[in-house]
Amino acid sequence: MKPSPFDYHDPTTIDEALELLRRYGPEAKILAGGQSLIALMNFRLSAPAALIDLNRVAELSYLRQENGTLRFGSMLRQRTIEFSPVVLQRLPLLAEATRLVGHLPTRTRGTIGGSLAHADPAAEYPTVITALDGELVLRGSLGDRVVGAHDFFQGVMSTALGPDEILVEVRLAEAPPNSGCAFEEFSRRHGDFAIVAVAAMVVVDGARYRVARLAAAGVGPTPMRLRAAEEILEREGLSERAINDAATSAAEIVEPAGDLHASADFRRHLTRVLTRRALARATDRARGK
């Protein structure tokens, strides 16, 4: 199928893109990698009056280290993140999750900002950002505002982005010392969106978990932070029992809906299994195994 007619613009600066957004208002759509938006337009599930293509806005494609934080321009390609030695060393959870995003052509065109702004509740990047308490910088007519991941994702493919705003930067704290991470997901085929996915990051201090961070995808309208499971780990200490208790808690607190891909009960079962796997791998890595 073909999309409905639309005006096309390819600005070279953020200011030009913002001016176009002001002109068209909510009738405009931002084009980043286009891996999701173009398909929606072709099926006429989305019919914007104007498409504002950010691919020529060079100032949005960067990776910077600053005071223990990695800052990603929203147009940075997923393939660049996948092969970045800085990301692999400083933010291994993001590196691991990136390898599970779609297929090679998807990651070659797809961007970190495009994935987050699309906000598919089963996607890898929103799950990582949620687990790690990431921050997103939104720029509009009134300037910049910084929004935490918990407030950014508001529903299925719905975010805190205003009609006159562009996601310009993603900020994630570097992995602390003595930390380990893992990203586990279950999908029907390699490259498909996850039926359920779990991101885990732990910091080990002797016989206890000093920090535990968990988030699940595919179990609700947004990625879900598994805070009750985190509290179990930080309270019970470093043990197989703590991991099992946290995994059981994760399955109890999620409220997934059933669909043609999986029943709600199966998604709960996957949440328990994948949480246990992710925590076991993250713990081994934190302990240097």
Query: Tens digits of per-residue pLDDT, 196-227?
Result: 999 999 999 999 999 999 999 999 999 999 99
User: Could you tell me if 128 and 148 lie in one domain?
Assistant: yes
- Domain-located, residue 101: yes
- Alpha carbons 188 and 190: distance in angstroms, whole number: 7
CATH of the domain at 22: 3.30.43.10
Task: Decide the pairing of beta strands 153-155 and 158-159.
Answer: antiparallel
- Domain-located, residue 22: yes
Structure tokens that stand for 86 in this block: 């800085």
pLDDT of residue 152: 98
Cβ contact 7:51 at 8 Å: yes
**CB-based contacts of 229: which residues, under 8 Å, 6+ apart?**
212, 214, 246, 247, 249, 250, 253, 275
- Alpha carbons 212 and 132: distance in angstroms, whole number: 10
pLDDT of residue 45: 85
Cβ contact 173:92 at 8 Å: no
Structure tokens that stand for 183 in this block: 């990203």
pTM of the model: 0.95
CA 192 to chain CA centroid, Å, is: 15
pLDDT of residue 192: 80
Instruction: Classify 178 as helix, strand or coil.
Output: coil
User: Could you tell me if 70 and 28 lie in one domain?
Assistant: no
Instruction: Classify 157 as helix, strand or coil.
Output: coil
Secondary structure letter of residue 77 according to DSSP: B
- Domain-located, residue 2: no
Q: The domain containing residue 40 runs over which residues?
A: 7-53
- Domain-located, residue 1: no
pLDDT of residue 257: 92
User: Could you tell me if 163 and 191 lie in one domain?
Assistant: no
Strand partners, 51: 8, 29
pLDDT of residue 38: 84
User: Could you tell me if 34 and 118 lie in one domain?
Assistant: no
User: Could you tell me if 109 and 196 lie in one domain?
Assistant: no
Structure tokens that stand for 254 in this block: 């999620």
User: Could you tell me if 238 and 154 lie in one domain?
Assistant: no
- Alpha carbons 82 and 95: distance in angstroms, whole number: 6
Structural domains of the chain, count: 3
Instruction: Classify 16 as helix, strand or coil.
Output: helix
- Domain-located, residue 261: yes
pLDDT of residue 36: 86
Closest CA to 12 of 78, 81, 61, 77: 61
Going from the first residue of the chain to its last (289 residues), give the mean pLDDT of each consecutive group of 10, the final group possibly shorter: 89 97 93 87 88 96 97 98 98 97 92 96 97 98 96 96 96 98 94 92 96 97 97 96 98 93 96 98 94
CATH of the domain at 251: 3.30.390.50
Largest CA distance in the chain: 62
User: Could you tell me if 145 and 229 lie in one domain?
Assistant: no
User: Could you tell me if 184 and 253 lie in one domain?
Assistant: yes
